[in-house]
Structure 1
Amino acid sequence: MFGMRKWNTPVLRPTAPFIIGGIAVFYLVAKAQDAMINSEEYKNDPRNPAIASGKKAH
């Protein structure tokens, strides 16, 4: 009754679209965040984390 089953349960194939979607959303959010941090409006703001880490303002 318990232990190894006769048929394996597929895990990766049904979840692949969700994994790919999660990676795409993570990448796009990171790019948007980087673009907002380097925008003219927030480039010289003292709350900008890029300035706090030592990255020079353009």
Structure 2
Amino acid sequence: MFGLRKFNTPVLRPAAPFIIGGVSVLFLVAKMQDAMINSDQYRNDPRNPALSAGKKDH
């Protein structure tokens, strides 16, 4: 009568839209950041992290 009881509580199904949204936002933000780093305006900027990592594709 007392103690922990087992209930069928759905966790993954209600959280699925938020998980999918979070993954898609993370992917799109990473793509935008990569596009901005490799743009012509910031390609030769000394603050560009791609220059310090050795990615000199220009």
**What is the count of residue pairs matched by the alignment?**
57
TM-score, normalised with respect to structure 2: 0.90
Runs of 4 or more consecutive aligned structure 1 residues displaced over 3 Å after TM superposition: none
Deviations 1:6-41 (A, max 9, x none): x31100000000000000000000000000000000
Alignment of 1:26-37 (within 5 A): 26-37=26-37
The CA distance in 2 between the partners of 1:2 and 1:39, in whole Å, is 60
- Any unmatched runs of 5+ in structure 2? none
Identity value in percent: 67
TM-score, normalised with respect to structure 1: 0.90
Q: RMSD of the TM alignment (CA)? A: 1.0
Q: 1:57 to 1:46 in 2, by over 3 A?
A: farther
